[in-house]
Structure 1
């Protein structure tokens, strides 16, 4: 959604492995000091009142998205080589599969799968029993929660769950109880983080009760950018990522898919339908709602029964594949008609474009959605980003069926902030429930930039002002998008507990594993966006500032000290690409970011030469200054040949200023006989 067209988490089990034991302890202590991981609240209470752990308790590993309520109790027990899994008739298959995978990765040798009925008749001989499924899935889980002094999930919102661990008559137990199957699946994802794999180390399960639920009903991603759509492999990887991070929505709407927009009326070829069918299947396994969106506004005749039939026939294909949520989008089009029939029917309406679109939307709702039980409809109005009333908005709101969900980007196509007040005003205008189309971290309008920072500028109370959820529009680079999308998932699940910086750090740790440090160095130089226009490499910023201050003051001692630090930082950045390539086991990500890695190498080399060049000038060492200027020019030429932007707002300004200082110095020393031994003008 743009006005201009210029637009499994990898190694997630390796949490903090690059930091070591001491580093982990420091990080956990630091995190607790700024924002406790533990919250105690009921479903009717705000979830952002922190509580502290009693003395003698070790901190839990970080859990994302941040749970609504965590009660850590005294003690822990080992994850034993033999574990019994107790499932009911309706236990979610994906949750069962996830728990089995987690146990295998944690070194469990024997997994006994038994039914709840069998478990109630006779006790398992396994030293640890895991009960999987809430009241609607596993009849035995309620009694086990009670024995662990934990309240069940009844009454929690959809997707809510209770995860309880402890000992019952000396036997270790874990209960994963969702208010529905999705909740149980989310409990399994939390268990994955609660007992992260530690290689050959003994895994200890903390005694804890986690009572959790999503604050936003709809949380996910809309593939809605201009440019090359994601590949099938990208989308499957993303859907698995969404499930792991408790996102429940994927909107299929790449702008450059001709079957969605330019050729919306054409049926899909068989191979394309097969690909979509696979995506719908993977989405279902991850408890993700696959939303199919058509954008017919470039050519449709709104009042044509024939065009309506084409729309319904197209969506019937998708319904047959298992899609149950559909969308009709009218963003980024002109408010003009494509047939004389529309002019005759709507020309005298107070706002003809709004009336025409509302007519088509309502016709589709009445003749397709209402005749296909279990389906729902979303739309995007043409005025999707403006502030306040417009004649189009007012008429659209008046005419469109109130059961239809309306997309809104916030104020502006790319909204720096989305406030509770703006949401309430927009809801009051449309009088329809709002779904936020968040144009972050989308980069189709700046395709030479990566936007790897966290989601910022979104108020925590949006769901209290007519907003049912948020879907983020990602970058063209699918794997790179996972870094900021992790923070989107964190925000949407529990906005009141969301801390952008902490969420971002955890995203880098999960994504990077042993490559966390070089990944952070790279990501810190890919932060600047319309949401965070001044973000950048803070360490580098400070060192550059200190360098120029010493240079301007003519303080040679301070300049040498500042230059040494700056050279060290540029050397670190120069080696970041090779470190990432050596340590990060994500070939797709490395392929995506290769041009930016190359640019970082060239600019870092130029940065080193710039520091030495300016320092030599300050010392009056003309020969060294000229030698470094030549090196500087060589690397700048290579850097400028790469269109990608890295270190925006930090590295390029430093290089330009250094070049300007050198140009001034050269002009003062032309002809440069003292450097070259003969008369020569340098340009």
Structure 2
């Protein structure tokens, strides 16, 4: 695991008198992985003073963010200038759109990236210049996020980065059942999305009554103000705020009054700064009409009739959006048959009747798919008559199989090359916002650059980000994440195994006890004791090292249970050591271990925090099984 230097040490390194510029250039770890990175031979440091040169017309907020990042990295004095300095001893940051004259000059012949949201970043030690050139304002913002990662190193290597997203849409959809996020949690989530170069957040909590059951009713003035503030936070983070409404349970597709109700709802949201909309038609009864008028308009109820009726309503909404603003982003919808890619009468009716501008979401080969391949996505393109926007139901934990779990495994089993068949990916996160970031980081890194995505390295980076670069907290988080590795599906087999690191260790202990000599057995028991100590220590290390208190609060019962399970494993190791020595104390240690395991297994989720309350799962099927089996692994006879 690559250790990222902590900010206090980084600042001391940057400001020291050691001639760091003579150090060897090494390739920086940037997440998401850049499309293209070419490393040079030299390095530079920023030091105490930096000149910041922004091209005319550069977004002031982006310039301010760059300055904030530099100060966090230890720069004490930032001088602003209208043109680059000629003194090569003075470090400078030049930023702006790539077509600005001074930015083109600073690029020194480097051809800029020309893709939407793309950027070019160069570090030129010979002139002591870092240049950030955005293809557009979003691209420049992404370049500053890359700068944030680069300046966490003690030296900056000579390099050229040309980078842009593989998928046009990348983000999250707050689309789970159960307790919605608070406005404060959503704001923190938008700030997080900016750091991983996401560009979309869909507001679609199933338990917002004014977005689903009471969708025709207006929001209160207070709620509108809160949504407006949230939309402004999204804009600040270069994230599209998308408002989703779910009229399906009661809508009359042919009723002009219901179409007008949608227009009225969207008008109120448009007035507070929300300009992108979504109609969700998932999880509804679609083979039975909600009104007699639909029977008259579309004939007997059924899947094909539902597809045609839905298309008519959606087309009218799309036409209204275009009429109001010809440049408005297209409407997004999720169909009632949002899973698999089999052709059906419903999909055929939607394909034949739905305006091609409307974006269709699809959850993959199942509601919670164990894997998604390029052929799967091609089949969905054919079934829906357009490339789909993937709604990936990971790491959402609002279904029964996830009771007692946080889903924090690496994002995996999505095939490189999907960018060619999808318009993007939206992750459906957990009710627990901060713990969701672990998996969501992987989703968004994959969406940015699926061909160079490394699940394990991205997983480790997400831990370092939560830990603020602290190595001990990072290791503790990875220990915790491993106990929350299982990824269930709606089927019988999980699509990610539980606790693979711990499982490997415990299997090695079993093998050593079964086949090893006295020294091998003693070493295995010592390894087991260290692992138990790590489990016991991890919760306190995480609480002390993770700056965002929302993570430790939302994960509180899991951390409490982890410490208890660690103590149970420690007593198990003591029991094995005693048994290996022929001591009668083994039975007492094993009894203590079982008591602690029983206490740990009884820890419950925070009431109401998740759709299904229940007992906490920690490395279940791995840790509990080993503790139960341990008394039979070594005979109690004399040695």
TM-score normalised by L of structure 1? 0.83
**Alignment equivalent of 1:151, drawn from 103, 111, 116:** 111
How many residues are aligned here? 601
For residue 339 of structure 1, what is the aligned residue in structure 2? 291
Change (3 A) 1:571 1:212: same
**Structure 1 residues 581-590 or 624-633, which shifts more?**
624-633
**Following the alignment from structure 1 to structure 2, what is the Cα–Cα distance between the partners of residues 613 and 171?**
65
**1:639 and 2:574 aligned:** no
Matches within 5 A, 1:66-465: 66-115=33-82, 119=83, 127-136=90-99, 138-145=100-107, 148-153=108-113, 156-166=114-124, 171-196=127-152, 203-335=154-286, 336-348=288-300, 351-375=304-328, 376-445=330-399, 446-465=402-421
Max Rg structure: 1
Change (3 A) 1:78 1:603: closer
Tell me, what secondary structure is at the counterpart of 1:495?
coil
**Structure 1 residues 404-413 or 89-98, which shifts more?**
89-98
Tell me, what secondary structure is at the counterpart of 1:259?
helix
Q: CA offset at residue 442 of structure 1?
A: 1.0
Change (3 A) 1:257 1:545: same
Q: CA offset at residue 551 of structure 1?
A: 4.5
Q: CA offset at residue 264 of structure 1?
A: 1.1
For residue 621 of structure 2, what is the aligned residue in structure 1? 649
- 1:298–1:333: 8 Å Cα contact kept in structure 2? yes
**Structure 1 residues 73-82 or 423-432, which shifts more?**
73-82
Q: CA offset at residue 568 of structure 1?
A: 2.0
**Alignment equivalent of 1:495, drawn from 427, 430, 450:** 450
- 2:43–2:156: 8 Å Cα contact kept in structure 1? yes
Deviation per CA, 1:367-403: give whole Å up to 9, x if none: 3443233322000110010231111111111111111
- 1:15–1:510: 8 Å Cα contact kept in structure 2? no
**Alignment equivalent of 1:599, drawn from 561, 575, 578:** 561
Deviation per CA, 1:238-296: give whole Å up to 9, x if none: 11111111111111111111111111111111111111111111111111111110011
Q: CA offset at residue 533 of structure 1?
A: 4.0
Q: CA offset at residue 61 of structure 1?
A: 2.5
Q: CA offset at residue 620 of structure 1?
A: 5.6
**Following the alignment from structure 2 to structure 1, what is the Cα–Cα distance between the partners of residues 168 and 48?**
38
Tell me, what secondary structure is at the counterpart of 2:430?
coil
Tell me, what secondary structure is at the counterpart of 2:396?
coil
Q: CA offset at residue 603 of structure 1?
A: 1.5
Tell me, what secondary structure is at the counterpart of 1:176?
strand
- 2:482–2:502: 8 Å Cα contact kept in structure 1? no
**Alignment equivalent of 1:541, drawn from 500, 503, 513:** 503
**Following the alignment from structure 1 to structure 2, what is the Cα–Cα distance between the partners of residues 244 and 412?**
30
For residue 4 of structure 2, what is the aligned residue in structure 1? 15
Q: CA offset at residue 98 of structure 1?
A: 1.7
**Following the alignment from structure 1 to structure 2, what is the Cα–Cα distance between the partners of residues 420 and 529?**
21
For residue 506 of structure 1, what is the aligned residue in structure 2? 461
**Following the alignment from structure 2 to structure 1, what is the Cα–Cα distance between the partners of residues 319 and 151?**
49
**Following the alignment from structure 1 to structure 2, what is the Cα–Cα distance between the partners of residues 561 and 334?**
60
**Structure 1 residues 563-572 or 604-613, which shifts more?**
604-613
**Following the alignment from structure 1 to structure 2, what is the Cα–Cα distance between the partners of residues 64 and 394?**
40
- 1:87–1:133: 8 Å Cα contact kept in structure 2? yes
For residue 28 of structure 1, what is the aligned residue in structure 2? none
Root-mean-square deviation (Å): 2.8
Change (3 A) 1:583 1:308: same
- 2:593–2:627: 8 Å Cα contact kept in structure 1? no
**Following the alignment from structure 1 to structure 2, what is the Cα–Cα distance between the partners of residues 176 and 261?**
44
**Following the alignment from structure 1 to structure 2, what is the Cα–Cα distance between the partners of residues 225 and 502?**
28
Specify every segment of 5 or more residues in structure 2 that has no aligned partner in the other structure, as ranges.
11-21, 604-614
TM-score normalised by L of structure 2? 0.88
